């Protein structure tokens, strides 16, 4: 399929619609769980999911990214609601954060996302894959105290990601385990090559069968006390008795608080964190895109800004692009942003009309779907590939993964970035120039070729090399290719030249301007000769040749 065809919204409905259903099924509990963790009304998470799909999807340039409420903002939202004193005041901050993001988009701040090394981005994807698997294991066993969408190591129930795996053994639900195992069996079967060759199974996605089977088993288990599921082990979307009751759940911001300075502090905080998380997820989503499309980052910031303005106006949580939903979209066969838009409309329709059906879906079924998503993000082959690239790639990759698992998403990325920068500085420290000692051993001059960019970071290495040059040597410091030489390095070279006469060292410095001047002199000489139009005999004396 060509890239142009992949970008046609209507040309790929047969792929995008099934993918949108899977994303919708994963998004529902995530939206509700993040709203619960944020101390906000549950319906605010659904609103954010709807706006993230329809509004952000419409304005975004990302073909496969899916936006919605993000777990990374849950702590900020919880503390902001408490500090501002009212949810309506918080909504005003969300609306203003959208304006800030819109301004960042016009200011072309999207370039920030390109400064994150590939090893950190791949570590982020693998780390999220690992954390998805670890976080979903308790749900598969029927222990659901940690909210869906949680990404932090420390949990609201007083446990952490690892201790939860032990604590859940006291709350095992046989019915949830049976549903999770059957769901995993269906998903693994659906991945087999022979299944993909059957046309009906190309149309009907495995996760849809998993959800349908989960609902049926849940209904059957209701008549078997030993296997029955509790309400908190199912999706719990708010149910309205009428259409008017549905729209009554929308909340509007309190614009009377525009003079409150705390509102603006919260707005800027949300805008900065949401923009950073979006740009990181954007970079990761583009790497997962099978068609290798590049999303315009500034357009994405504008789309996120518009989305947060709308979300804040109608009672929704802050929105970012979310890697869990985006990777689910990609792995479910989504090809264009119609998948994200359709998932938003599905959220809206089902929340309005059939929330009672959604509330029959076991969380254990969704855990199985997310297990597959997590595995595909953190495949063992990825670890082997990163290891083969060398320590400068593998160490930041692993630090990012461990940081995400043991802290949270942004902290893990920050730790990986620090380690990646360390390796960059270390390599820069080692290679600010080219020095071939064997040339001196042959009695030739010692030639030190400086790099294009020589900064203060290279001071120690250059100083150590110059100090090791033996007395009586001839040294050529070649800066002909250097575009930028830090003044600190220039001073080191000047000091070396001043002390060289006491060590009987002959020093020649070739500067970039010297090379340009010589080139200009040669070019001027050639132009002068050509202007004279002289005829000179060739070696055989037959044909005159112009010089």
Q: How confident is the model at residue 438 (pLDDT cuts 50, 70, 90)?
A: low
What is the DSSP annotation of 88-114?
HHHHHHHHHHHHHHHHHHHTTGGGGGG
Distance CA 484, CA 128 (A): 40
Category of 149 on φ-ψ map: left (φ > 0), alpha (ψ -120 to 50) or beta: left
C-beta of residue 507 within 8 angstroms of C-beta of residue 469 = no
Lowest mean pLDDT among 73-82, 102-111, 500-509: 500-509
What's the mean per-residue pLDDT of the chain? 87
CA–CA distances in Å: residue 404 to residues 42, 49, 121, 127, 273: 26, 24, 12, 6, 16
Average pLDDT of the segment spanning 244-255: 90
Helix (H) or strand (E) holding 476: strand 474-478
* pLDDT value at residue 239: 87
Which tens digit of pLDDT belongs to each residue from 185-211?
999 998 888 887 887 777 778 899 999
Tell me how far CA of residue 127 lies from CA of 131, 390, 469, in angstroms: 6, 19, 48
- For residue 426, how far is the Cα from the chain centroid? 25
**pLDDT higher at 377 or 72:** 377
Residues paired with 68 in a beta bridge: 320
* pLDDT higher than threshold 80 for residue 525: no
Query: Has residue 545 got a pLDDT over 50?
Result: no
pLDDT-derived band at 430, boundaries 50, 70, 90: low
Q: How many other CB atoms sit within 10 Å of the CB of residue 182?
A: 17
How is the chain split among helix, strand and coil, in percent rounded to 5?
65, 5, 25
Q: Where are the domains of the chain?
A: 12-418, 433-532
List, for residues 449-494, the tens digit of each pLDDT value.
887 777 777 777 788 788 878 888 888 888 888 888 878 788 888 8
Give the model confidence (pLDDT) of 488-520 as tens digits: 788 888 888 888 888 888 888 888 765 455 555
Which position has the higher pLDDT, 547 or 534?
Answer: 534
What is the pairing mode between strands 484-485 and 535-537?
unpaired
Fold annotation for 433-532: Transcription Regulator spoIIAA (3.30.750)
**246 touches 240 (CB < 8 A):** yes
Report the pLDDT averaged over residues 12-34. 93
Work out the pLDDT band at 443, boundaries 50, 70, 90. Answer: low
Confidence class for position 246, pLDDT limits 50, 70, 90? confident
- Rounded mean pLDDT, 134-142: 95
Q: What is the pLDDT of residues 278-291, one digit of tens each?
A: 999 999 999 899 98
What pLDDT does residue 77 have?
A: 95
Q: Where are the alpha helices (DSSP H) in 107-192?
A: 118-141, 163-167, 174-190
Distance CA 335, CA 544 (A): 68
């Amino acid at each position: 399929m060509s890239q142009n065809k992949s970008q046609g919204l209507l040309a790929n409905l047969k792929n995008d619609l099934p993918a949108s259903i899977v994303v919708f099924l994963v998004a529902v509990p995530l939206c509700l769980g993040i709203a619960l963790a944020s101390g906000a009304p549950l319906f605010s998470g659904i609103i954010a999911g709807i706006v993230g799909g329809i509004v952000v999807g419409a304005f975004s340039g990302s073909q496969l990214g899916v936006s919605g409420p993000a777990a990374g903002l849950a702590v900020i939202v919880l503390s902001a609601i408490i500090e501002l004193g009212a949810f309506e005041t918080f909504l005003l901050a969300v609306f203003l954060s959208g304006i800030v993001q819109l301004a960042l988009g016009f200011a072309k701040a999207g370039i920030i996302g390109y400064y994150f090394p590939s090893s950190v981005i791949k570590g982020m994807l693998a780390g999220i894959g690992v954390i998805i698997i670890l976080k979903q294991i308790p749900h598969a066993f029927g222990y659901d105290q940690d909210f869906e969408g949680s990404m932090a190591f420390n949990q609201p129930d007083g446990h952490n990601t690892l201790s939860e795996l032990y604590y859940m053994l006291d709350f095992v639900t046989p019915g949830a385990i049976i549903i999770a195992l059957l769901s995993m069996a269906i998903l693994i079967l659906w991945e087999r090559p022979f299944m993909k060759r059957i046309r009906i199974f190309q149309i009907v996605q495995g996760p849809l069968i998993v959800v349908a089977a989960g609902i049926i088993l849940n209904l059957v288990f209701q008549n078997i006390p030993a296997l029955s599921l509790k309400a908190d082990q199912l999706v719990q979307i708010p149910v309205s008795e009428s259409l008017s009751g549905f729209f009554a759940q929308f909340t509007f911001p309190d614009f009377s608080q525009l003079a409150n300075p705390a509102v603006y502090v919260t707005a800027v905080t949300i805008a900065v964190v949401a923009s950073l998380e979006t740009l990181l997820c954007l970079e990761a989503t583009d790497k997962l895109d099978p068609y290798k499309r590049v999303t315009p980052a500034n357009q994405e910031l504008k789309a996120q800004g518009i989305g947060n303005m709308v979300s804040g106006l109608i009672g929704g949580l802050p929105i970012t692009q979310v890697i869990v939903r985006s990777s689910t979209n990609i792995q479910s066969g989504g090809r264009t942003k119609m998948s994200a838009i359709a998932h938003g409309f599905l959220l809206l329709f089902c929340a309005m009309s059939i929330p009672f059906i959604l509330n029959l879906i076991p969380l254990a079924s969704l855990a199985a779907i997310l297990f597959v998503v997590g595995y595909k993000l953190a495949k063992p082959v990825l670890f082997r590939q990163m290891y083969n690239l060398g320590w400068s790639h593998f160490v930041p990759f692993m630090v990012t993964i461990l940081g995400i698992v043991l802290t949270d998403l942004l902290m893990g990325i920050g730790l990986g970035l620090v380690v990646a920068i360390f390796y960059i500085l270390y390599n820069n420290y080692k290679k600010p120039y080219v020095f071939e000692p064997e040339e001196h051993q042959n009695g030739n001059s010692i030639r030190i070729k400086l790099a294009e960019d020589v900064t203060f970071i290279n001071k120690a290495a250059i100083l150590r090399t110059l100090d090791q040059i033996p007395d009586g040597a001839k040294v050529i410091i070649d800066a002909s290719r250097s575009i930028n030489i830090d003044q600190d390095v220039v001073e080191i070279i000047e000091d070396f030249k001043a002390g060289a006469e006491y060590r009987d060292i002959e020093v020649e410095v070739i500067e970039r301007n010297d090379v340009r001047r010589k080139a200009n002199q040669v070019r001027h000489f050639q132009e002068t000769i050509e202007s004279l139009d002289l005829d000179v005999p060739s070696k055989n004396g037959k044909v005159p040749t112009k010089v």
